[in-house]
Structure 1
Amino acid sequence: MKTKKIFAMGLAVMMTSMNFVGCQQAGGSNDSIKVGASFDLTGSCAQYGIAASNGAKLAIEEYNAAGGVLEKQIEFILEDNKANQQDATNAFKKLVENDKVVAFIGSDISSTTETIAHLAAKKNIPMITPTGTKADITTIGNNIFRACYIDPAQGELLAKFATEDLNAKKVAVLINSESDYSSGIAEAFQELFEANGGEIVRVENYGNSDVDFKPILTNVKNADPEVIVIPDYYEMIANIATQAREIGIDATLIGGDGWDGVTEKTVNNPEVVEGSYFVNHYTVEDSSEMVQNFIQNYKAKYNEEPNAFAALGYDAARIMLEAIKTAGTIDATAVVTALQNTDLECVTGDITFDANRNPVKSVSVIAIQNGQNKLYKKLDAVK
């Protein structure tokens, strides 16, 4: 796209509970460009869907306040998929068949994103997911893109970090065997860490419903690793970390972007994750003007600090709108071509796309210090 711009604009918006049209009459008009979205707003992963959709809304409001795209306002039509694949299917069909959207943003978790991607590929609707990390989602169609890095990329980055920064030689890996996210990160980590000369001294599996981790953690403790990799989401991490420290494990804990939120979950026992590290898409400590403007505007609108899901939602919306602007039309083929040629400064890094429509960008390594997430370093993707 060869366009790098920083947006720091006033916000003007008319909202309803499930859709809004910035600077337009209620119900929209023939002069609008309809962009659809589907996120989990009320289901089991609503904390992710709400943040991602809020980020997307903010970006679209900013574009509308600046005059829109192709001299038209953006009508953003948002549907709740409740983290359910059938609801995701129904939401997408409504958006395309009834609302006549010309582009799609979403979903949040990989399962609903994958379901929607198959439908979007058949309809040739340009689609970008902010946070669907499962590796093969974008291979479903050449019109499917994502703003986040994929699960294997996180595993490779963690292996690079464990080897080069932590100087780890012996590592244990805990895997949620019921999670594609956890398995994808773990498998990539093990492959690269061993290729770099490291030793995996223990691998333990658990499931979504498990609550007592001390038996497998005892096995890990006996293997005496220097580092333990736990690729899962923050609620599970908080439970595992607490039990690990209770039985005397003092190894360094590391993980992927699912850790975002673990400091809030362990506010009453912050010592259990103290000194841990995780890779994430961005950090509020980034001093760039783009990041700080985004944080300021997001906090002004939602009265809370934006997490990585919010930042990715914001970036995904901007990438899609810039592609429409560059294409000069809402024609799907032209928009997809513009998406593939993206070169855009974003909150989560300067983004281009590889041949599989995955973003090429750096990541932030976050260190947990004194109960706070602190930027440790920026890490380039493994080549």
Structure 2
Amino acid sequence: MFKKVISGIILIVFLLSMLAFSFASNKNVIKIGVDLELSGAVAQYGQKELDGIKLAIEEINQKGGVAGKRIELVVLDNKSDKTEAQTVAYKLAVRENVLAILGPATSGATKSASMAATKYKVPIVSPSATDDTVTVDERTGKVKSYVFRTCFNDSFQGNVMANFALKTLKAKTAAIIYDATSDYSKGLLKNFKATFEKGGGKVIAQEAFGKGEQDFSSILTKIRDKKPDVIFAPVYYDEAGLIIKQARELGMKLPILGADGFDDPKVVEKAGKKNANNVFFSAHYSSQDTDKKVQEFIKKFKTKYKQEPNAFAALGYDLGYFIADALKRANLKFDSVAKDRERLKTALENTKNFVGVTGVININKLHNAEKSAVIIELKDGVQKFKQKLNP
């Protein structure tokens, strides 16, 4: 019995010492959660964004961190699933007690995750969720207090591509292919169509498909028969590559337009280089931009990861510095996670003239980033900078 008592005391002392050590360790770090698509259908986006975030946080910590504390990332995979994205947000907010959540990458997942973030009052910032309703409640029209994004939204992106079709390509008619299960796809369709028709154009075909579709030949055949001037396909990289490939195989040489979902090497991989011509899409940055900040980022990314960064890597990198900038301005007291979350939220709302690789970011009253976009053209599968458009 005596030995059992002694053993119990030793165990209690050990556990208490471990808790004390954990508490002391946590006082030296600022925990930031990451809720990204690291596996599943759109893992390419999340993986690239995580690469960018990690590079930025590594640099920030090497320079002394924030308020003398190192930023510690708590990274969880939402598996490209909306429900999992909300579960991950809950874990980060409640179990990990993070100060903020970075991600998800996609609009549907971000809207799902934002429900948990809002309930537990933790700021959540997406680098690439473009659907207009990510930051605004569809029912009330009011801004979601704890939800932010550092990318432009679909209203801007859809307008950009519609005006490009009308003014640069001189298109009078358009066909639209979209994913009926995707918030991203439906949001872009709505804004492209409204701007294109307001500008005098006519949408003569609008074809929907379901999640996981691989064969677009019947849809494309219908569109071919109507002879539009352009096709607008607001889709992600897998579908984008297949649509381009199958359209060209059907003899359709017309311009194919997309949005930032086209900005991934998988598009050309699936389409084939010879088919990846006369393709244009809106993007967050171009590696051909001669700006010193852009070229320095590319050099550092290539040194660390041995590959060229795409726009999603650049968005992730900017997000890392963006959250650090807000943390520095938040006047954190480290007296209460709940209170520091509120201080950070206020700092995020007041972000003005943040200079990033993907442009200068100003957060407006709807928690959207006001920033420029670029148009990229694919020539034999190679990205070429076409033009830059401001808000």
Q: Normalised by the shorter chain, which TM-score bucket? A: 0.7 to 0.9
Structure 1: where are the runs of 5+ without partners?
1-24
Structure 2: where are the runs of 5+ without partners?
1-21, 138-143, 334-339
Matched, 1:198 2:201: yes
Contact 1:235 1:265 in 2 (8 A): no
Q: Which residue of 2 aligns with 1:357?
A: 367
1:286-328 alpha-carbon deviations (Å, 9 max, x no partner) = 1111111111111111121111111111111211110110122
Q: Which residue of 2 aligns with 1:341?
A: 350
> Equivalents in 1 of 2:120, 2:199: separation in Å?
44
> Equivalents in 2 of 1:50, 1:216: separation in Å?
31
Q: 1:76 to 1:202 in 2, by over 3 A?
A: same
Q: 1:189 to 1:89 in 2, by over 3 A?
A: closer
Letter in 1 for 2:368: N
Q: Which residue of 2 aligns with 1:189?
A: 192
> Equivalents in 1 of 2:271, 2:79: separation in Å?
30
2:42 paired residue among 26, 45, 53: 45
Could you tell me how far 1:55 is from its partner in structure 2? 0.9
> Equivalents in 2 of 1:267, 1:176: separation in Å?
18
Q: Which residue of 1 aligns with 2:11?
A: none
2:222 paired residue among 213, 219, 224: 219
2:303 paired residue among 297, 300, 305: 300
SS at match of 2:248: helix
Q: 1:60 to 1:176 in 2, by over 3 A?
A: same
Rg larger in 1 or in 2?
Answer: 2
1:57-102 alpha-carbon deviations (Å, 9 max, x no partner) = 1111111111111121111111122123343333323323332211
Letter in 1 for 2:180: S
TM normalised by structure 1 equals: 0.88
Q: Which residue of 1 aligns with 2:233?
A: 230
Q: Which residue of 2 aligns with 1:57?
A: 54
Identity of aligned residues (%): 36
> Equivalents in 2 of 1:293, 1:228: separation in Å?
36
Q: What pairs with 1:77-92 in structure 2 (closer than 5 Å)?
A: 77-92=74-89
SS at match of 1:351: strand
Could you tell me how far 1:28 is from its partner in structure 2? 4.3
Q: 1:93 to 1:208 in 2, by over 3 A?
A: closer
Q: Runs of 4 or more off by more than 3 Å in structure 1? A: 262-268
Q: Which residue of 2 aligns with 1:20?
A: none
SS at match of 2:307: coil
Q: What pairs with 1:18-33 in structure 2 (closer than 5 Å)?
A: 28-33=25-30
SS at match of 2:175: strand
Q: Which residue of 1 aligns with 2:337?
A: none
Q: 1:42 to 1:219 in 2, by over 3 A?
A: closer
Q: What pairs with 1:1-383 in structure 2 (closer than 5 Å)?
A: 28-139=25-136, 141-261=144-264, 265-266=268-269, 269-329=272-332, 331-342=340-351, 343-381=353-391
> Equivalents in 2 of 1:337, 1:318: separation in Å?
17
Letter in 1 for 2:55: L
Contact 1:278 1:365 in 2 (8 A): yes
TM normalised by structure 2 equals: 0.86
Q: 1:51 to 1:32 in 2, by over 3 A?
A: same
SS at match of 1:225: coil
